[in-house]
Amino acid sequence: MRVEERPLVFDCEGCELIGIVHIPETPRPVGLLAVAAGGIQYRGGCGRQLVSMARQLAAQGFPVLRFDHRGHGDSDGALLGFRHMDEDLARAVQVFRDNVPSLTHVSMFGGCEAASAIMMSGLGLPAVQSAILANPWVELEHLAAMASRAHYRRRLLDPLFWKKLFSGQYNLFAYARDFLGYLARKLGGAGTARQNPGEAQVETPFEERMLAGMQAFDGQVLLLKSGQSFLSEEFDQLVASSAAWRAVCERDTVQRQLMPEADQTFATAASREQLCRSVGDWLARMDQDAARQPAAGE
């Protein structure tokens, strides 16, 4: 199937945002809005992961938009951080629908703090009917310590871990990079917003906003967990420690999928392929569900 890759420049509160929309020749009514995580990933994703995912999905007929939010990648503006992406996500959804008029179902995808941003600011947007959230980011220090201990205890007691380590099957560079990224986020805060000197900042903990977004959302959600990421353990600890979070994650509309060999950023080719398959399968299911729904007025 022929696919147009259309570059976009669109406004968000006076800032120019840069994006790419992948439009199949015959687009399905279900499309993916890919939200890049922080750091150096920008709209291409870690290891150009979002580029390859978008092209694979578009070849199957699913439109895809990937973009840089304010202060990120090639877009204008100050980096406000994942806690303050309400307007960025709202504009991206509108631009996606403007460029693909036949689009009726937007599924949002994001990993790490992008997943957290979607929970807070994306799930209530028009046409957003589902989401795929990989390893959502949380910042509860007591949970972080518990998760780290549990993760490393399990790894050190696993004979397969030692076998793969000494046979060179693990990418130690990728593990070191992920760990350094973890430390940087913990010391500086993931996507910390710029703040005026002396300005007191009092706001609701973003984990509470994530929960509120999930509670209010009646669409379908796929939670992806990487088995080799201790950041994903923190989210699990949050769910285990909160009756409200457990209630949300036990809904029939929420599915959880474990990817045992994947790390936080899906750094290996095998984990990236598995991620693309999982996202493609999810969109195909959403497309089938949409086809079964009666048209307006029927």
**Secondary structure of 161-193 in HEC code, one letter for each residue:** HHHHHHCCCCCHHHHHHHHHHHHHHHHHCCCCC
pLDDT of residue 27: 98
Extended beta strands in 147-280, E state: 220-226, 254-259
d(CA 139, CA 162): 30
Strand partners, 109: 34, 132
d(CA 214, CA 128): 13
The full set of domain ranges for the chain reads: 3-192+202-292
pLDDT of residue 59: 98
CATH 3.40.50.300 assigned to domain 3-192+202-292? The reply is no
Each residue's pLDDT, cut to its tens digit, for the chain (298 residues) gives 999 999 999 999 999 999 999 999 999 999 999 999 876 678 988 878 999 999 999 999 999 999 999 999 999 999 989 999 999 999 999 999 999 999 999 999 999 999 999 999 999 999 999 999 999 999 876 455 444 555 555 556 667 656 666 666 655 565 555 555 555 555 555 544 444 434 445 578 999 999 999 999 999 999 999 998 878 889 999 999 999 999 999 999 999 999 999 988 898 999 999 999 999 999 999 999 988 875 544 4
pLDDT of residue 174: 57
Count of CB atoms within 10 A of residue 213's CB? 20
pLDDT of residue 47: 75
